[in-house]
């Protein structure tokens, strides 16, 4: 998506047409393979951290894309960088990680004079806020809030369901044991589920998780800590594949639907609350590309209360006007409804002014 006041800035969307002035900020690679089914002939300059740049470059090279390291502007995590826009204006940006592996970033953009942020963009869940808040530069940047906060609202109406990874590991182990000691086959998307695998490798499944060749190479771009997965003399209990060509070495296999684990990289209501309370935004915007119909749900009241200019009275007035408008709409039917025309009425200015607040 692009902010309307700065259309040469692209957030997590790689344009199909090349523009030398476009600046693409990559905070996550979730669904990037779907987004890039038709590859661009030439890539716009992409701003991201080194782990994500290497991960994406490795994937694009397997698809024979016209891309090289020069197409990436690699920034240091948690360190400001300058932005020169098409109109000659200058801004500052910063990409900081909110995950253990550094693959889920939050983007901050501000004017060079400092003060309040212009934009804060966060598309995926940030499970390691301690990593963010441990950065003094990040704390300084967010101290006065942000004008626009862009959030992924695709799960905003779902109830919060805490995921216990020790329980998840026991569930996986029990599934294999109940199916004649089979290896549990878990198929994951190419990107986005690295955090879940990292957490499972810190449970009783440590050393018992066999990553398929493609998912292992991709994971290694984020961390070289692969000894937590399949180790010598350990019985494999889980086989994780991220690509149809990943070879399955096991004969006794039971498949596990990823949905049964109840974990996704999408931010939950809790994550959204945390960000809103930290940033104190003036405006909250939904990120459009995460909604297939292009319709972003309205901002719920449990997020609105964190807005810097929030007023319960204004919120109540807006809700009342919306409900009155919806109640006054005629019900649609198969035929057009004809109504008698109302007589002309004069407006009583005194009554109107006394009822407004």
Same domain flag for 235 and 307: no
Nearest to 96 by CA among 133, 71, 70: 133
Please check whether residue 151 is in contact with residue 272, taking contact to mean a CB–CB distance below 8 angstroms: yes
Q: What's the pLDDT band for 292 if we cut at 50, 70, 90?
A: low
Same domain flag for 145 and 278: yes
SS3 label, residue 40: coil
Same domain flag for 103 and 241: no
Domain closes at, from 226, 241, 261: 261
Same domain flag for 131 and 178: no
Q: What's the pLDDT band for 298 if we cut at 50, 70, 90?
A: confident
Domain that holds residue 45: 9-158+265-313
The answer to the question of residue 184 being in a domain is yes
- Would you give the DSSP letter of residue 15? -
Question: What pairing do the DSSP bridges indicate for beta strands 283-286 and 45-49?
Answer: unpaired
The answer to the question of residue 19 being in a domain is yes
Helix, strand, coil abundance in the chain, percent, nearest 5: 30, 20, 50
| pLDDT the model gives residue 274 | 93
Same domain flag for 174 and 195: yes
Same domain flag for 143 and 269: yes
Please check whether residue 51 is in contact with residue 99, taking contact to mean a CB–CB distance below 8 angstroms: no
The answer to the question of residue 108 being in a domain is yes
- Looking up residue 22, the CATH number of its domain turns out to be 3.60.15
Same domain flag for 109 and 195: no
- Would you give the DSSP letter of residue 238? E
Same domain flag for 87 and 223: no
Q: Out of 17-31, 67-81, 152-166, 188-202, which region has the weakest mean confidence (pLDDT)?
A: 152-166
Show the tokens assigned to 279.
């940033």
Same domain flag for 106 and 241: no
The answer to the question of residue 322 being in a domain is no
- Looking up residue 192, the CATH number of its domain turns out to be 3.40.50.12650
| pLDDT the model gives residue 335 | 42
Same domain flag for 20 and 142: yes
The answer to the question of residue 238 being in a domain is yes
- Looking at the 3D structure of the chain, how many domains does it have? 2
Indicate if the pLDDT at residue 57 is higher than 50: yes
| pLDDT the model gives residue 194 | 95
The answer to the question of residue 318 being in a domain is no
Sign of CA dihedral 157, 160, 165, 170: negative
The answer to the question of residue 331 being in a domain is no
Indicate if the pLDDT at residue 191 is higher than 60: yes
Q: What's the pLDDT band for 235 if we cut at 50, 70, 90?
A: confident
Q: What's the pLDDT band for 341 if we cut at 50, 70, 90?
A: very low
Same domain flag for 31 and 124: yes
The answer to the question of residue 59 being in a domain is yes
Phi, psi of 66, deg, nearest 5: -85, 80
Same domain flag for 246 and 228: yes
| pLDDT the model gives residue 323 | 57
Kindly give, in sequence order, each residue whose CB lies less than 8 Å from that of residue 181, ignoring residues fewer than 6 positions away.
Answer: 252
- Partners of residue 72 on adjacent β-strands: 46
Please check whether residue 119 is in contact with residue 150, taking contact to mean a CB–CB distance below 8 angstroms: yes
Average pLDDT over every residue of 52-61: 96
Percent of the chain with pLDDT over 70: 84
| pLDDT the model gives residue 311 | 73
Mean predicted lDDT score pLDDT of the chain:
86
């Amino acid at each position: 998506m692009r902010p309307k006041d700065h259309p040469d800035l692209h957030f997590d969307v790689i344009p199909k047409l090349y523009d030398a002035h476009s600046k693409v900020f990559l905070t996550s690679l979730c669904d990037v393979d779907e987004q890039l089914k038709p590859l661009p002939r030439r890539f716009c300059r992409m701003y991201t951290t080194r782990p994500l740049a290497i991960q994406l470059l490795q994937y694009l090279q397997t698809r024979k894309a016209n891309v090289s390291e020069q197409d990436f502007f690699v920034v240091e995590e948690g360190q400001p960088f300058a932005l020169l826009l098409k109109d000659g204006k200058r801004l500052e940006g910063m990409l900081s990680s909110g995950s253990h592996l550094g693959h889920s970033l939050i983007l901050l953009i501000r004017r060079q004079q400092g003060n309040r942020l212009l934009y804060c963009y966060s598309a995926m869940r940030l499970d390691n806020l301690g990593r963010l808040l441990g950065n003094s530069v990040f704390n300084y940047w967010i101290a006065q809030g942000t004008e626009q906060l862009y959030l992924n609202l695709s799960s905003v109406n779902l109830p919060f369901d805490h995921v216990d990874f020790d329980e998840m590991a026991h569930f996986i182990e029990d599934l294999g044991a109940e199916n004649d000691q089979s290896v549990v086959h878990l198929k994951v998307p190419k990107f986005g589920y690295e955090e879940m695998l990292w957490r499972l490798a810190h449970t009783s499944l440590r050393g018992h998780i066999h990553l398929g060749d493609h998912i292992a190479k991709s994971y290694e771009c984020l961390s070289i800590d692969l000894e937590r997965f399949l180790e010598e003399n350990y019985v494999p209990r889980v086989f994780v594949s991220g690509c149809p060509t990943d070879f399955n070495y096991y004969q006794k296999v039971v498949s596990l639907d990823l949905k049964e684990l109840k974990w996704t990289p999408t931010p939950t209501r809790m994550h959204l609350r945390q960000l809103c309370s930290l940033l104190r935004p003036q405006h909250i915007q939904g990120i459009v590309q995460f909604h297939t119909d292009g319709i972003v749900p309205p901002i719920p009241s449990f997020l609105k209360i964190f807005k810097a200019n929030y007023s319960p009275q204004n919120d109540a007035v807006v809700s009342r006007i919306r409900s009155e408008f919806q109640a006054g709409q005629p019900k649609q039917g198969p035929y057009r409804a004809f109504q008698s025309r109302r007589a002309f009425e004069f407006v009583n200015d005194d009554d109107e002014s006394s009822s407004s607040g």
